[in-house]
Structure 1
Amino acid sequence: MADRRDWLEEGLRVLGEEGAPALTVDRLAARLGLTKGSFYHHFKGMTGYKTDLLAHYEAEHTGRYIADAEREGGAAPRDRLLRLRDLVLQDKAGSDRLEIAMRAWALQDPEVRALQQRVDELRVGYLRELVGGAGGGDADATPLARLLYLLLVGAQQLVPPLPAEELREVYGLALRLAPQEEGPGT
Structure 2
Amino acid sequence: MKLDVGVAVSDDLLLQAIAHRDSSSFAELHARLVGLVYSTAFRVLNDPDDAREVTQDVFTHVWEKAQQFETKKGKATTWVYAMTRNRAIDRLRSNRRQFRLRDEFREERKVSEGFRPSSPGLVEFERRDELALVSAAMAKLTPEQREAIDLVYRRDLTLKEASEWLELPLGTVKARVRRGLAALRHALEAEEKSGGGAGRLS
TM-score for the superposition, normalised by structure 1: 0.32
Greater fraction of residues in helix: 1
- Structure with higher Rg: it is 2
TM-score for the superposition, normalised by structure 2: 0.30
